[in-house]
Amino acid sequence: MDDNRIIKTEYSEEMQKSFIDYAMSVIIARALPDIRDGLKPVQRRTLYDMYELGIRYDRPYRKSARIVGDTMGKYHPHGDSSIYEALVVMTQDFKRGLPLIDGHGNFGNIEGDGAAAMRYTEARLQKITQEAFLADLDKDVVDFVPNFDETEKEPCVLPVKIPNFLVNGSEGIAVGMVTSTPPHNLGEVIDAVKAYMLNEDITTRELMKYIKGPDFPTGGIVINKDELPEIYETGTGKIKLRGKVEFENVRGGRTNVVITEIPYTMIGANISKFLTDIAALSETKKTQDIVDISNQSSKEGIRIVIELKKDADPENFVNLLYKKTRLEDTFGVNMLAIADGRPETMGLKQIIKACVDFQYQVNTRKYRNLLAHEMERKEIQEGLIKACNVIDLIIEILRGSRDRSMAKACLVEGKTEGIKFKYKESRIMAEQLAFTERQANAILEMRLYRLIGLEIEALIKEHEETMANIYRYEDILDRKDSMAQVIINELEAYKKEYGRKRRTLIENGREAVYREKELEETEVFFVMDRFGYAKTIDSSTYERNKEAADAEYKYVIPCKNTGKVCLFTDSGQMHSVKVLDLPAGKLRDKGIPIDNVSNYNSEKEDIVYIASQTELNLRQLVFVTAKSMVKIVDGGEFDVSKRTVAATRLNEGDRLVSVVSLQDQTNIILRSKEGYFLRFQIEEISQMKKTAVGMRGMKLGDKDSVEAVYYTAATDLTFIEYGSRNVMLNSLKLAKRDGKGTKIRA
């Protein structure tokens, strides 16, 4: 290989250059809209392609696949899915304040169902798109640039006559930047543009007399009205949205909460998540007011019905929805667009100024071209009128000329050589002719019927209209206020035909305050079977079925419905469970795995003790580990807010064997794996903090460990089965702590 063809470059510099090129491509050519027409490249190309294909609003629909394929082949080589997705969004009236495409077929819905495949759906331009976005493309009002393979020409921007960037808003993620502009009301935006054109020194706050705030197609309520001026001044901020809620009284004295409008941010799959979140409020016992939830939404609009219990407070319940679900949400505003070839975050006045400046540019080019066209017509018309006055001479010239060029030379320059004239006077008159090139061509191409008297009158009238147009166009081009009036008149026409009432309410909403209903404290029983399924049953049910409950469940713990149950595990952890998080059921109901409502992991640790928080606060606990570390801890130390805390400190390789609450026990008996029993008085065990390791309770051999722990009261005669023998614990020798104990053969 020739060394001269190898370009040596620093790797980091090449990476930096390549990434910057990629980032700028995404920013400029894909993700961000142009401030002038408010369109991303894919949207602009799709609309232009439909215009080129002749898919007008008053013509039949065409298959979306045809539009997508043509756009991809001619202008946008980025894959059909991105083009079709852009087309779909431009048809959806729940996403766009002003849909630009008229869709026929399944183009998705507000609840998140996607559009049908492009081979099934059809589309055509909306009337306003044709009139306000594409109408003047034939008048050379914008620059055309080569497409990706330089086989076609495409407009670098569409000559949009309304501030589409504000009306339809935009969302896009580029490299290192995001654009997020809410949609606005067309009529309000036009009023604001008019106000700016009449007074360019107008302030943002004055503009907001016309633009009250965003106008989302889903309606809803903006609740931070006082923060909007700052957002529109800077172009960034957060808009707080709420859905619209109504109350319906139904039979039985109950009230239904009906959601008729949702926040714009809830469009799509978030509606189903919203319904799930409401159901979760009931499942997690955040509220006990819900009877049923039904989504009755249809083409007519959103209707989500929540049936409440008879004694429920509907306003308080709605405040809960605002606080715990997306019925109250935030729309992040970052009005970022491409302006003068680079991304820029713009305030309301800057956006309107950019759109108005663009209108002046477009209209200047438009009326210059129209003026040039009328000047050409004027020249031709004046030539034809002049020709009609000397028509006999012109006919004589035409009959006497050998060819077209000879006749044309006579008309333009007065050359008569070679032309046969009938009269000498005619040659003298012909030498005085001085038509322009354009006039001469028009005369030579003129048909004889134009010599009819009425046709000549029509020509004179047409010339008068042309002169009036020239005067009007020159006035528009020479005087800024005349051009401003033209732009304002067009905007007024669009407002009259396409304007609609505001959908979104703008106000200063009060903060949602949810008052939790005070729960009446009652005594219940926590029950858990040997498989780890837990629930609560009320005390009356337990008392009626005491024997069956004690036999069926491994743990039966009395507790308060407002309290907690604490689980001590062999890993030295204490996991607390709110009683309210447990399902309340009947005796035979299955319950739920305790793992689901706590941090306890049944696959990694075993429960050694369960007690209610109420009992722990009244008792002292004796801890015993496998390596014979013992201590007493005040139960009040475990009254903590955390769901999991370390119940004791364990040495490496050790585990917790037993936790027992002290009542009237006096003696403790430790039994080792190798059959040693050590009985000593509990008072020998010191009280320590839960973070302490403890003291040694029994001397163990190298491979021995504590296997079981027993307790006796002074007057008890307690027997246990050990292997094939019955051992009376009270008869064991009372020794001192930290002894080896007595070995008993099983």
Q: Which residues are catalytic?
A: 120
Beta bridge partners of 663: none
Residues in the chain: 746
Residues contacting 239, CB < 8 A, separation 6+ = 182, 213, 214, 222, 224, 227, 228, 231, 330, 331, 333
E runs forming strands in 418-459:
none
**146-149 contacts: CB < 8 A, separation 24 or more?**
147/74, 147/75, 148/75, 148/77
Distances 330 to 94, 179, 466, 621 between C-alpha atoms, Å: 18, 15, 57, 50
DSSP 213-275: S---TT--EE-BGGGHHHHHHHSEEEEEEE-EEEEEEEGGGEEEEEEEE--GGG-TTHHHHHH
Distance CA 42, CA 620 (A): 72
Beta bridge partners of 620: 634
Distances 388 to 310, 396, 412, 521, 631 between C-alpha atoms, Å: 94, 13, 16, 109, 126
**What is the bridge-based pairing of β-strands 505-506 and 221-222?**
parallel
- What does residue 353 show for φ and ψ, rounded to 5 degrees? -60, -45
Q: Using CA of residue 458, residue 459, residue 464, residue 465, what is the dihedral sign?
A: positive
Distance CA 646, CA 692 (A): 10
- Decide if 336 contacts 178 (C-beta within 8 A): yes
Distance CA 120, CA 61 (A): 12
- Both tokens of residue 29? 């050519």
- Decide if 165 contacts 353 (C-beta within 8 A): no
Distance CA 326, CA 315 (A): 17
**What is the bridge-based pairing of β-strands 555-560 and 254-261?**
unpaired
Q: Give the count of beta carbons closer than 10 Å to the beta carbon of residue 264.
A: 24
